[in-house]
Amino acid sequence: MKKITIGIIGAGRIGRLHAKNIIHIPEVRIKTISDLFADSAREWASKIGIENVVADYEEILIDSEIEAIFICSPTDTHIPIIKRAAEEGKHIFCEKPISFSVEDTEIALAAVEKAGVKLQIGFNRRFDRNLLKVRNTVEDGVIGEPHIVKITSRDPAPPSIEYIEKSGGLFFDMSIHDFDMARYVSGSEVVEVYANGGNLIDPEIEKAGDIDTAVITLKFENGAIGIIDNSRKAVYGYDQRVEVFGSKGSITVENDRPTSAEISTEEGVFKDKVKYFFLERYKDAYITETYAFIDSILHNKPLLCTGNDGLQAEKIAKAAKQSLVERRPVKITSET
Amino acid sequence: MKKITIGIIGAGRIGRLHAKNIIHIPEVRIKTISDLFADSAREWASKIGIENVVADYEEILIDSEIEAIFICSPTDTHIPIIKRAAEEGKHIFCEKPISFSVEDTEIALAAVEKAGVKLQIGFNRRFDRNLLKVRNTVEDGVIGEPHIVKITSRDPAPPSIEYIEKSGGLFFDMSIHDFDMARYVSGSEVVEVYANGGNLIDPEIEKAGDIDTAVITLKFENGAIGIIDNSRKAVYGYDQRVEVFGSKGSITVENDRPTSAEISTEEGVFKDKVKYFFLERYKDAYITETYAFIDSILHNKPLLCTGNDGLQAEKIAKAAKQSLVERRPVKITSET
Amino acid sequence: MKKITIGIIGAGRIGRLHAKNIIHIPEVRIKTISDLFADSAREWASKIGIENVVADYEEILIDSEIEAIFICSPTDTHIPIIKRAAEEGKHIFCEKPISFSVEDTEIALAAVEKAGVKLQIGFNRRFDRNLLKVRNTVEDGVIGEPHIVKITSRDPAPPSIEYIEKSGGLFFDMSIHDFDMARYVSGSEVVEVYANGGNLIDPEIEKAGDIDTAVITLKFENGAIGIIDNSRKAVYGYDQRVEVFGSKGSITVENDRPTSAEISTEEGVFKDKVKYFFLERYKDAYITETYAFIDSILHNKPLLCTGNDGLQAEKIAKAAKQSLVERRPVKITSET
Amino acid sequence: MKKITIGIIGAGRIGRLHAKNIIHIPEVRIKTISDLFADSAREWASKIGIENVVADYEEILIDSEIEAIFICSPTDTHIPIIKRAAEEGKHIFCEKPISFSVEDTEIALAAVEKAGVKLQIGFNRRFDRNLLKVRNTVEDGVIGEPHIVKITSRDPAPPSIEYIEKSGGLFFDMSIHDFDMARYVSGSEVVEVYANGGNLIDPEIEKAGDIDTAVITLKFENGAIGIIDNSRKAVYGYDQRVEVFGSKGSITVENDRPTSAEISTEEGVFKDKVKYFFLERYKDAYITETYAFIDSILHNKPLLCTGNDGLQAEKIAKAAKQSLVERRPVKITSET
């Protein structure tokens, strides 16, 4: 069995999630994890059998045994790490967004291209079986030419104010997945954005300069119209639905629920709430995306989610922000 | 517009239901309603525009203007009324069961046949759009040869003990609909019955000599196997589902609910309970069955639910009762 | 039984629909129907028992026996008829939209108010059991304060080009129902509109100066955001879904289907398409709205759908048209 | 991390399935796999990193390093292996059924008890999230006292005639899962069985002395009635549904489908078929049952599926066979 040695940069929530998934892939060996707070990461790491924990990610980048890295550190560290990793000839899995600046992202992508390494962006939803089915069905022409694309994406609870202050705001930390999904399921680029936003949940979010509720309309290159609705707080759980309506029909995919049980009593009929959040809902998708990345390296297959996919989503996020501020539709171009 | 004049015998719950439906059929005029308690029926009747209320149904039978009658009186009156109505040349709509005695029913059917009048039995479910779809789908061969027929039929609350004492018991007042449905959706006759029964709801029902929970298995002429499950008390409402499984697939039909609303809150997901009871669930089917009867008379069309359908269901009910007592499968024959 | 005598103006599709529903209401007598093409209407009318068919609606308006009228003639006749009917002291049921001009509508409403007659607008969906459930659930506070309102409303096939040329266009003939629904389910007025439109179905529609696909975003007085998506052609039928998402949860209602049958075969699982169009889907709602109107007159109950409801929907339609042309969000005021 | 060393006996379909699941459990090391055809198993084993493949399972049983074994060899080898493994003090995971003879099974269970080792039976469905939810809901009293238990269990395609000749027949190789499920979800023992069977699919199955379609009714100790319906051939896939109806309500669980996609076109509405067979449907349950077994050994927790559970299911299967032959209900006792 061909094996690959990797390093993980960042041992926060998402870094640990990837690590726990990766230890189950027989073809991969996690050699090193880096985290600024190496000491607190060490105990956790040793429990899942990873002995090498370092504070400085540079140790991973210069380790010639390591062929690929997962970048799970804060967004503002992504660009320098990508550039260095590309220099060192390492394949890169980078969490979304690549950066908060379209220009910076473009520079990093150029470095990746020059080095000839692979760069996969962590748009995990592309690997969800339901959303993949939407894409494939549209691509196969089953519903004809897409006319309307609808994406519902609501979180169960807002993140901390600290997070919001550094995340780039709702469009960059949350809607960015939906911007990618819009391109992914429609197979078309977005050319115009109009964003409606509101502060309906928590005044602290407004004070932090962000919104908590948004409805974004998109125009696609092919003339189709897209709708994304976002909320930071769906009290019933993580609401993730997609619909594409076209000239020959429509496809919808529903939320996953823990079980299919339906309980009927004198009071009414009860079903399970939707799965709580992304860790539950996209559990399998997170696993599949890491397999796909490893598989792409081992067998030199094309990536299903490239650096350009990251870049285009950022362009849409940027335009949405501008639209919200200027209260008008904003045009964008997908050229890199 | 061709019109028909009718009389209704019995102004209890089901007689009033039919009357209220019939007054909306422009082709029909209800001339007379008979009820032993004519005085108490009079007020109700005049409210819906029927002025002629009599105590003795014979007045309806000898009225030469009346072309058709609805028999909605207690089961033990059905046979003499059918025989007299047939003599008078009137078309007959009779509520189920025709009688508690297969032999009596056979005699009445012979009288009907001799007189050449139409006799429709009140198996209203045959006119439900969902159950009709099952029958048509099976008949069209979409699911191939039927192998397994499953009927769930549960009432929301037991009837009064007085009713149970006169109704012929669960098999005759409740399962009889399911016996008819088994023949209707499968298109095959029942040749053997095995009945399991229990008293799990109310000991008073046991004292009255009846059961409150039953599971009945059927063997059909074509080799298929049927299952009926009955309960006198589904606290969540009137549970009515049918499934036919065959060599090329299966068809299932679900309960109707008041609305399709799904409400998600922090506590869970809530849907409407099923419709409460037969009046709600089969509202349209009751209307359709009366239209069909009138239509059959006006345009001399074949009936969708004949006297023989009533007879066969009674044979199955009788065999089920015997099976329960003798604790063994009982054979039946559909020959009349 | 108290009875009411009515007249119907216009014997086109919707006029005939109302007439057929009304003949089943025992409390109502249809005395006269008027239609420019009285001769062709006469045969149809006599079949359902209405003998009096006239060419000039004025005959209805001056008939002192007639207490209420249904206006089912083309939109451009609504205003003069309403004004005349109000003068004559007749209660009015008027199909939507009242007119294409917010100013004209305001004048007509003033005449109605002065005369003290009742005016109900034909927003039939308000009487649909599913949509009524949404309104009541929101009103009861079950889902908290509304944040996002989503309305999907797609027709199965475009109307004729002739119709489009006279209808006021998609916003006035189709979305107007959705504008009313947005106000109805949210319980809040619309203060801003942004409309995206496209011509994706039939270039003839574009030539006629209209669009065939639209996504409209709304801002409500309470801060909530609304989304309406419209298509002239959903090949699978009349797609009518509503969702309200709020601070304490969400409610969704689904399409009605002819049956609940689910057929599983080797090829897949098949369900019925949604009901074909408004006549099928809102069959009961059309009946209920006429009952409600009659009931309101007979028992002097408040109307569930007033002239002001008609006016506000027209204001939104007008703003949507302006937004589409000027490619920017347009503010509106609900003051009359 | 505490680790455990195991051996697997039998490298057929189910042995390989368990092996592939177990290599992902960090706490387990598979040291040896035995198979009569060791040579053909070797290539497969080395691919998943297991180097030690032997022909004689005795090598596993005498290996003192091995603490637990998985018995995945043909049913007729189970009893001798269980007895020997118990002698050697090894914990045992044994596929169902334990044997075709209630007496033999009792002897093996006695040996296990004497040795004080753990014995888990491979009723994988107990670990399915949906079926577990049914059990827990019933146990928690949510639906009150169970009255009716309904289990639908249909395979997508019949096994080979060779398999049928050695499997003990439909009741022992297929319904046995449902007999266990009946006990599991109801929390009550089965006291009487009546079996209806038919040969509706393939005459070769009849020639092999087996049936291909069955409806089995059960009586439970608590008075509830159970229904199992089985078919060897549901052309649409593996149909696995359970319903428990009780004094306070009911719970139903539905089939899993590959995706939740619903595609609407001019032809109708299409959904995914149910998952094809047990490998797809119970993929997670197979993983969970091995984790549970390992967890039970590592932390000395009680098993969720014991040898007695295997024994009771076999008693029901034996009674069902007798009922089918003698065409009468057969009583059973759950005493060991």
How far is A79 from B290, CA to CA, in rounded Å? Answer: 76
- A116 backbone dihedrals φ, ψ, rounded to 5°: 70, 20
How far is D262 from D268, CA to CA, in rounded Å? Answer: 10
Q: Give B198's contacts in chain D (Cβ within 8 Å).
A: 147, 223-225
pLDDT one-digit tens code per residue, A191-236: 999 999 999 999 999 999 999 999 999 999 999 999 999 999 999 9
How far is D162 from D167, CA to CA, in rounded Å? Answer: 9
**Contact by Cβ (8 Å): C87, C67:** no
How far is A171 from C149, CA to CA, in rounded Å? Answer: 20
SS3 D282: coil
Evaluate if residue A261 carries a pLDDT over 80.
yes
Convert C95-122 to b/e letters by CB count within 10 Å (16 or more is b). Answer: bbbbbbbbebbbebbebbeebebbbbbb
The contact set of A with C (CB < 8 A) is 145, 147-148, 150, 152, 154, 194, 196, 198-201, 213-215, 217, 219, 223-227, 229, 231, 233-236, 239, 245, 247-250, 327-329
Closest to C191 in 3D by CA, of C92, C310, C87, C323:
C323
- What is the average pLDDT value for chain A, to the nearest integer? 95
Q: What is the DSSP letter of D124?
A: G
Give the residue on A whose Cα is nearest the Cα of D259. A130
**Contact by Cβ (8 Å): A28, A22:** yes
Q: What is the DSSP letter of D276?
A: S
Which whole number is the average pLDDT over B234-242? 98
The tokens for D267 are 């032809």
The verdict on a CB contact (< 8 Å) between D254 and A264 is no
* CB-based contacts of D47, cutoff 8 Å, min separation 6: A1
pLDDT one-digit tens code per residue, B163-185: 999 999 999 999 999 999 999 99
The contact set of C with B (CB < 8 A) is 1, 23-24, 26, 47-49, 129-130, 133-134, 137, 142-143, 248-256, 258-266
**Residue position matching structure tokens 């030539």:** C207
| pLDDT of amino acid C336 | 55
| pLDDT of amino acid C335 | 64
The beta-strand segments (E) located in chain C are 4-9, 28-34, 52-54, 68-71, 91-94, 119-121, 146-154, 190-198, 213-220, 225-231, 239-246, 249-253, 262-265, 268-271, 330-331
Closest to C107 in 3D by CA, of C85, C86, C79:
C79
| pLDDT of amino acid A336 | 54
**Residue position matching structure tokens 């060791």:** D38
Q: How far is C266 from chain D (nearest CA, A)?
A: 5
Q: How far is A236 from chain B (nearest CA, A)?
A: 5
Q: Give A156's contacts in chain B (Cβ within 8 Å).
A: none
Q: Give A327's contacts in chain C (Cβ within 8 Å).
A: 329
Q: What is the DSSP letter of C272?
A: P
The verdict on a CB contact (< 8 Å) between D196 and B194 is yes
Give the residue on A whose Cα is nearest the Cα of D256. A260
Q: Give C237's contacts in chain D (Cβ within 8 Å).
A: 264
In angstroms and rounded to an integer, the radius of gyration of the C-alpha atoms of chain B is: 20
Pairwise pLDDT comparison (C333 vs C65), residue with the higher score: C65
**Residue position matching structure tokens 């008008």:** A328
Pairing of the two strands C68-71 and C91-94: parallel
* CB-based contacts of B46, cutoff 8 Å, min separation 6: none
In angstroms and rounded to an integer, the radius of gyration of the C-alpha atoms of chain A is: 20
How far is B201 from A127, CA to CA, in rounded Å? Answer: 51
Give Cα B164 distance to the centre of its chain.
Answer: 16
Q: Give D264's contacts in chain C (Cβ within 8 Å).
A: 234, 236-237, 239, 273-274
Give the residue on A whose Cα is nearest the Cα of D49. A1
pLDDT one-digit tens code per residue, C274-300: 999 998 999 999 999 999 999 999 999
Which whole number is the average pLDDT over B298-306? 95
The verdict on a CB contact (< 8 Å) between D143 and A248 is no
Chains touching B (3+ CB pairs < 8 Å): A, C, D
Q: How far is B231 from chain D (nearest CA, A)?
A: 9
The tokens for A230 are 């976002």
Closest to C322 in 3D by CA, of C203, C171, C199, C190:
C171
Per-residue pLDDT of chain D (336 residues; tens, 9 = 90+): 678 999 999 999 999 999 999 988 888 999 999 999 988 899 999 888 898 999 999 999 999 999 999 999 999 999 999 999 999 999 999 999 999 999 999 999 999 999 999 999 999 999 999 999 999 999 999 999 999 999 999 999 999 999 999 999 999 999 999 999 999 999 999 999 999 999 999 999 999 999 999 999 999 999 999 999 999 999 999 999 999 999 999 999 999 999 999 999 999 999 999 999 998 999 999 999 999 999 999 999 999 999 999 999 999 999 999 999 999 999 998 665
Q: Give A255's contacts in chain D (Cβ within 8 Å).
A: 260
* CB-based contacts of B272, cutoff 8 Å, min separation 6: A268, A269, B257, B258, B259, B260, B261
How far is C194 from A218, CA to CA, in rounded Å? Answer: 12
Lowest mean pLDDT among A331-335, B133-137, B225-229, B311-315: A331-335
| pLDDT of amino acid D2 | 78
Amino acid identity of C239? D
| pLDDT of amino acid A51 | 87
Give the residue on B whose Cα is nearest the Cα of C21. B24
How far is A8 from A188, CA to CA, in rounded Å? Answer: 33
How far is C255 from A76, CA to CA, in rounded Å? Answer: 46
CA atoms within 13 A of residue D256's CA, in its CB half-sphere: 20
pLDDT one-digit tens code per residue, C40-87: 899 999 888 898 999 999 999 999 999 999 999 999 999 999 999 999
* CB-based contacts of B150, cutoff 8 Å, min separation 6: B226, B227, B241, B242, B243, B244, B245, D152, D229
**Secondary structure percentages of chain B, helix, strand, coil, to 5:** 40, 25, 35
Closest to A250 in 3D by CA, of C56, B193, C274:
C274
Q: What is the ipTM of this complex?
A: 0.94
Chains touching A (3+ CB pairs < 8 Å): B, C, D
| pLDDT of amino acid A1 | 62
pLDDT one-digit tens code per residue, A15-41: 999 999 998 888 899 999 999 998 889
The verdict on a CB contact (< 8 Å) between D134 and A261 is yes
Closest to B321 in 3D by CA, of B167, B216, B177:
B216
- B154 backbone dihedrals φ, ψ, rounded to 5°: -130, 135
End-to-end CA distance of chain A: 39
pLDDT one-digit tens code per residue, C156-178: 999 999 999 999 999 999 999 99
| pLDDT of amino acid D1 | 62
Amino acid identity of D3? K
Q: Model confidence at B296, in pLDDT bands (50, 70, 90)?
A: very high
How far is D38 from B284, CA to CA, in rounded Å? Answer: 67
Evaluate if residue A52 carries a pLDDT over 90.
yes
Model pTM score: 0.95
CA atoms within 13 A of residue D183's CA, in its CB half-sphere: 25
Domains of chain D in sequence order: 4-117 (3.40.50.720), 125-282+312-331 (3.30.360.10)
Pairing of the two strands D4-9 and D68-71: parallel
| pLDDT of amino acid B48 | 86
Q: How far is A248 from chain D (nearest CA, A)?
A: 6
How far is C189 from C179, CA to CA, in rounded Å? Answer: 10
Interface C:D, Cβ pairs < 8 A: 48
How far is C48 from C42, CA to CA, in rounded Å? Answer: 10
pLDDT one-digit tens code per residue, A133-169: 999 999 999 999 999 999 999 999 999 999 999 999 9
Chains touching D (3+ CB pairs < 8 Å): A, B, C
